[in-house]
Amino acid sequence: MTLPAQDEGSAMEAEFDVVARWTREAVAELGPEHGIPAACRGSASPAALDWLARACGLRAGTRLVDVGGGMGGPAAYAARHVGARPLVVEPMPDAARTATAMLGCTAVVGSGDRVPVRAGRADAAWCLGVLCTVEDKAALLAELRRVLPAGGSLGLFVLVARVEDPPDPPDGNHFPTAARLGVLLGEAGFEVVDGVALTDLPSPDREWQDRVDRVEAAIEAAHGDSPRFAQARDQERRIAQLMGEGAISAELMAAVAR
């Protein structure tokens, strides 16, 4: 679920665009029931998405813009479970293509500094696993505020730094501290109204995790010897190591546009 476009060959392009294409191929072989779990892998669980939907007040007909929405897993989950009307905005072309082809999402290729939505036209916005991949966080938050009316809801999933300068971060990642994130949200015109650590929510059930595991196994069987596969896995390894060491934590937040 990334926001900035990356040069071909970069680790982030491998992690979020190449793997999206491979995921689409694996789900085509395994069955459509694998699509949403696979497209949420690494950044969203059912418990997290249920929390975000409640905290943001999503309901049938809510116009939800998912900025940096990746393969569309969270958007498709919101459409299926609460009847939201999501638009996925995603800079990686294969990820956006996967959101449409695999999950039936309305998706456009676009960046977070110029979201293709008119001012105040979204009821809610999500930005999940994205802020840590963006250097100019203030610009992204300002654009999220632009597309929302006063009172509109913003849902965030953020990897937050718990130490100064976490060591060996994944390529393209810039983790904000909790204090800095609070300042940025306030300056952008948001008020944080709720939050929870991902670790305080239930883990995915066995059926969901089995589907994720089957897709991962299919991707590794087909592409495990590819340098792009190694790049993507190294990105994941670094994040897991930082989380295991307590250098970063995964946080969910809900904010309201003032």
CATH code: domain of residue 174: 3.40.50.150
> Which residues pair with residue 107 across a beta bridge?
88
Is residue 218 included in any domain, yes or no?
Answer: yes
The predicted pLDDT at position 3 comes to 43
Question: Distance between CA atoms of 69 and 71, rounded to whole angstroms?
Answer: 6
CB 182 within 8 A of CB 152: no
CA dihedral for 87, 90, 93, 94, sign (positive or negative): negative
Residues near 13 by beta carbon (within 8 Å), at least 6 away in sequence: 6, 7, 92
> Residue 162 falls within a domain, yes or no?
yes
H or E stretch at 231: helix 227-244
Model pTM greater than 0.75?
A: yes
- Asked if residue 4 is part of any domain, the answer here is no
- The structural domain count of the chain equals 1
Among candidate residues 130, 240, 147, 239, the one with its CA nearest the CA of residue 188: 147
Q: 252 in helix, strand or coil?
A: strand
Q: Is residue 5 part of a domain?
A: no
E-only strand ranges, the chain: 63-67, 85-90, 106-109, 124-128, 153-161, 190-197, 248-257
Q: Which residues pair with 160 in a beta bridge?
A: 249
**Residue pair 257/190 in contact by the 8 Å Cβ criterion:** yes
**Structure tokens given for 91:** 């800079």
Q: What is the pLDDT of residue 43?
A: 74
Position 12 confidence tier, pLDDT thresholds 50, 70, 90: confident
Closest C-alpha among 23, 168, 206 to residue 99: 23
Q: What is the average per-residue pLDDT within 93-99?
A: 97
pLDDT in tens, 114-136: 999 999 999 999 999 999 999 99
Range of the domain at 83: 11-257
Output DSSP code: residue 62: -
End-to-end CA distance of the chain: 26
Averaged pLDDT for residues 23-36: 98
- 241 within a domain of the structure (yes/no): yes
Residue 177 located in a structural domain: yes
Q: Which of 204, 231, 230, 211 is nearest to 49 (CA)?
A: 204
Which band of pLDDT confidence, cut at 50, 70 and 90, is reported for residue 7?
very low
